[in-house]
Structure 1
């Protein structure tokens, strides 16, 4: 044969080969292998422990096996048993195909399929009846897989798809459901036992045919030994290892948490969350035991959230103390449920008022009856305390000072800050809420409250909670570059707030003080909602923030329920368990905070008349620098019956005396409680000069309000006011017509006869106040 013919024949072969390869590539592109696998949703703890698993869409227990879960031992055993030349062929083993063809022809039936691991993957991805044509399709699909994926990825697909009987598919599901552990924790004996099941999933059932499985397992272990696949000692141990495996229930821990993160990440099938499994189990045990005791008092539900303050990761999540308690709605997720916060929002308000210079810890606030636009709040114990410091008011959770501060701060301003801190329900309804917001007249969630207090542990900077490690790592990178969080409070205000909340001389310290022994130093605040339906206690130190809610998901109130006596003991138990006797690392005073002496009577900068002084924190350039005026030099007559102003001061016959300058509302409170105090003499009645200063404060009626009168003959409206302590008489006018003269704190009643009423009140110093109300007659 001449060279020309040879070249021509070779050319044809090359052309045909290229054409064949081209056709194959075209078919591979036109008919791609569908590698979409329906996996079950799996929720994992941060250490990889499977917490909760769900069935896949095709009702299989098929859990995604990560590459790092495929140990060298697992890889060796599977490859040796199923396809020893896996790493050396392109999806089809020609020698195995030839051997299978000869055997099948010789025996006149199929005795060997010559299926490689890749071909098995192709068959499991698209199951078909066994035939020579379908076998050819498998080979073609195997070549497609080899061109597109690496060997490790193909092996991963195999381990994710391989059947283990019933509705269990994939090595991870089999490992969990039969051995109660993930694949990377399997022993060699367990790996080998699992490797033989897929060939006979119906006749070798773990838990039922364990003796047969041991025989087959040991046969393969001896083959491993003969080929030096594993050390002899390891194989000998595996040969003697018993098989105590059986079908376990699928993991179903932290159900509310699992439902939540599954909803947050619906496309992520293997969720590695931030949950610390050991800490979670410890917290669950404490909460369950605690609630079992409370059930004697008809308190049936509890929710707890634990946060890592440095990473903002959720470490423990207890939606309810007993998910299976259907009688008490145990399936409700209390971490997400909207509940009344009681007094737990007060710390943020006090911090914001410190940042505006309205208060410092020693600023005095009058805790006396008030009426603000028709709203008359009361304290929890129905008592009033007169003048108190801001730190006393917060640590004793007094309501009147908080309402006053919210009026100064502004409800909308406060609601906007809460919106920035993730309080979604308040942000949506901020135009509908009023001053009752600060006393629990709103809906909040435990996760919102706990993340707010975590901001206090981070110098007043708020960060959203992290639920998965992937998000947490991403946020950590962003924090190092651009994301610095949302500043709610300045460092000085946050430090003053934390200092107040960490004091132990307060009424919400549990009676069982032993529960506080050994716990790290913490700052905490309690809250009890109206009707005793919700008990809160939220605490933080440098490492953790823990939020505790107790109550009934049915919204039934319980007399024994309170934040101080019910929720705080549980908070202390949790801190004791997770951070027992830890180093008392605490917040250091920032350089931007200042210290100064203030008068104990007002909390203001003292003057020469202030003999009692105390040290106080303040924010330079922000905190008020108003000088104390609790005592003022007053001109009075020689008999001390009258006082004078500069307008009516006589040339002689008077004397000067230091007299207390008491606010009208405080003076009215002292008189109503029969508390003795030094009153200023009335102003000189002969003086015709109208004195400067604040006029009477009309406490009833309320300006701008509409009053409904159903029975005009019997229903009357009340008039009352607060005045300065030197005022003795007030004069009431209705629609500019004189109505009556009354003592300063006397209450009057009148019958309304018009739809619009102008109410005027003048004191005996000539100062006047007007309001306007509407009356609707039914």
Structure 2
């Protein structure tokens, strides 16, 4: 007997080892392929599904995360499908034996032996149901148990289980039937879903709800008998009605979803930072507001909202109506490259503050200028004379901005934009000129909004956060960005900008805005592109930055379109909706800014002659410390006909008078516009001294420019200049030959005879300026 037992044990051991070796051999030859394609899902910050894409095999199969499989769902599925799931290795021998005996005695299949693992194996490789394929299922089930944890197998089951039609998996079923994710299902709802896979064509939600309720309640009573859930919970579930039906798959935020899909092409679930509440408010407001714009011929708008503290993208509206194909509603207005108009000016002035070029009270002459053939004009086609930098920014004057960019340099300004991720600026950086500050470049709404978000963060740049919790994405087109938390402009400059941009007494405040009390406490700037094709308004407070663009994707201009008139009202409505209790406590002067008194006439440090002084902000050690020179002492004759210098000043018979020291361009401006000003009398004609100071500025022709002459000998070029206010007469020379003289504000004309022409202008103080021009004769 003992020998027989030993032989039995020996052969049993050999059989087990052989079976194990055979399994691993077959596992090596026939490896398990558990690759499952899931429908890509775009999710909001709270887990809400914003948009879902169908799989290549046209199935709604969405991947349920482990944290979405709630204890209730887990218990209900295991109780119904496989009570011993955690106690077997893919195959339940007792269930197999019971099924074999029942099938032999009844000569037909009365009960199955499929575990959850075996069902997963069958769903991974669907084949006809027969005994051979059942053996294959068992083999595959053991492979699954070898390669995956129990939690992963349960997850696979819940992701593959059929729910009729082309719906697979509990997540797709819960979303398409209940508009919920699995972790939000009630006990009654998850029980209803647990019974459908056994008969997906017989129990169809929305069609067979009464049958489903009856079957659901039967299982709820079984749960109750097994004390699986509290009795009160089960009683509530028994009373819960079933009103669910098949819904369309979520297809919101089309432009944003498509953008995320392209950025993360391999992802099955993209968990974005979109805040559903903020997004819904923004969509409702934008849609309603856009209807009023339609009456003006403006059919498109885009909105982008950023959280300044987390840098997360909270709302994204590419267009108010995606289905409006007649007005190109499918275009993504957030990514569209458009002209910014004047919306880049705050960064320009911030950089100018940091480079010591000017301060808020610095005076800039808003008068006609010409930069090598480029003669910018203001939006209203008017000139305003001397203006402060802060007024130039508030009024969005163009000429002061172009002058400031010329002083700063286009290269410096462009490099700052590139570092902030402006992709189109990077591609066209070598082509940029002074016109870029007036909209002569291309930008996107997301780029502009993030730039203004830097102003809300003390000038600190941070890349936008598109996904949670910590994945950061940069546009593929962006070649180089600053490291996170890098300063673009100083806190002092951002404080100056915010003070200026939060001022309400400005022309870009909407004229028809309902009530002054409804104006949100924000700093904002508008922009209107050439031809009135783009209307921008971007604003920020401590918590949010909101960018608004209005216009037509077709590129058609509209006479009534402007940043102030069409974009700012929407900006105000958005701020009042999502952050109506905002305060301005964040506008506090940083340590690197200081206050000082300056002359109101020039913005420079006052001298003894400056009677009007104002308080100005400046950056110690950076801002200029030039002393004001708008007035100077002049010695004039008793009859006020002549002025004297130290060389020709008589012993007596003169008087000392304080007179304005006006720049040449302002002297010309005052003369042309008939603005009276006190002129210094002409210098003593008997004096032969050559004076230092400002030479005449030739403003009718540009140095090194080529001029086309069609009719040689007849077509003439104009000679004019701007001079200091103590100049009465100027003398013109062509190729070093005297041509003629005239009063300082008069014009002369000459017909060029040579292809290269030197032009010289000398004032009555002996100061000379020269230019060279080229002439091409046709």
| Alignment-derived partner of residue 707 in structure 1 | 707
Q: What pairs up with 1:266-305 in 2 under 5 angstroms? A: 266-305=265-304
Deviates more, 1:344-353 or 1:714-723: 714-723
Residue 760 (structure 1) aligns with: 760
Cα distance in structure 2, aligned partners of 1:472 and 1:128: 41
Taking structure 2 as the reference length, what is the TM-score of the superposition? Answer: 0.96
C-alpha contact (below 8 Å) 2:68/2:181 kept by paired residues? yes
- Cα distance in 2 for residues equivalent to 1:775 and 1:31: 85
- Give how far 1:12 is off: 4.9
- 1:719 aligned partner: 719
SS at match of 1:700: coil
- Shift of residue 759, structure 1, vs aligned partner: 1.9
Aligned to 2:402: 403
What is the rounded CA distance, in whole Å, between the counterparts of 1:424 and 1:544 in structure 2? 23
Residue 569 of structure 1 pairs with residue 569 of structure 2: yes
Structure 1 residues 189-216: Cα deviation after superposition (integer angstroms, max 9, x where no partner): 2112111211112222211222222222
Shift of 1:585: 2.6
SS in 2 for 1:327: helix
Residue 317 (structure 2) aligns with: 318
Matches of 1:713 and 1:240 in 2, distance apart?
A: 103
Contact 2:463 2:472 (8 Å CA) reproduced? no
Question: 1:471 and 1:750 mapped to 2: Cα distance?
Answer: 69
Contact 2:520 2:572 in 1 (8 A): no
**What is the aligned residue count?**
771
Q: Which residue of 2 aligns with 1:593?
A: 593
Counterpart of 1:22? 21
Counterpart residue number, 1:148: 147
Distance 1:305 1:253, change over 3 A: same
Tell me whether 311-320 or 229-238 shows the greater mean CA deviation.
229-238
State the partner residue of 1:63. Answer: 62
Shift of the alpha carbon at 1:473? 8.3
Report matched runs for 1:323-334 at 5 Å.
323-334=322-333
3-state SS of 1:773 partner? strand
Aligned partners of 2:490 and 2:28: how far apart in 1? 61
Deviation sequence 1:514-538 (CA, Å, 0-9, x none): 4552555211111111111111111
1:195 aligns with 2:194: yes
Q: 1:295 to 1:273 in 2, by over 3 A?
A: same
**2:465–2:473: 8 Å Cα contact kept in structure 1?**
no
Q: Per the alignment, in what secondary structure is the counterpart of residue 176 of structure 2?
A: helix
**Distance across 2 between alignment mates of 1:722 and 1:473:** 55
Other-structure match for 1:479: none
* Offset at residue 107 of structure 1 (A): 3.4
Where do 1:360-375 residues align within 5 Å? 360-375=359-374
SS at match of 1:297: coil
Q: Does 1:662 align with 2:631?
A: no
What secondary structure does 2:295 align onto? helix
2:595 partner SS: strand
Distance (Å, rounded) in 2 between the aligned partners of 1:715 and 1:568? 49
Moved more, 487-496 or 127-136: 127-136
Q: Between 574-583 and 16-25, report the one with greater CA deviation.
A: 16-25
Runs of 5+ consecutive residues of structure 1 not aligned to the other structure? 476-481
Distance 2:198 2:520 in 1: 57
| 1:397-476 pair list within 5 angstroms | 397-471=396-470
Determine the C-alpha separation between the residues in 2 that align with 1:304 and 1:505: 25
Cα contact 1:305–1:446 (8 A) shared by 2: yes
1:209 aligns with 2:208: yes
Tell me by how many angstroms 1:452 deviates. Answer: 0.4
Displacement of 1:389 in angstroms is 0.8
CA RMSD of aligned residues (A): 1.9
Cα gap change, 1:326 to 1:34, in 2 (>3 Å): same
Per-residue CA distance 1:488-544 (angstroms, 9 max, x = gap): 111111111111111111111122454552555211111111111111111100000
Cα offset for 1:267? 1.6
1:646 aligns with 2:646: yes
Secondary structure of the residue aligned to 2:188 is: helix
CA offset at residue 634 of structure 1? 1.6
User: Against the structure 1 CA distance between its residues 9 and 535, is the aligned structure 2 distance closer, same or farther, given a 3 Å change threshold?
Assistant: same
Contact 2:445 2:549 survives alignment (8 Å): yes
Post-superposition offset of 1:740? 2.4
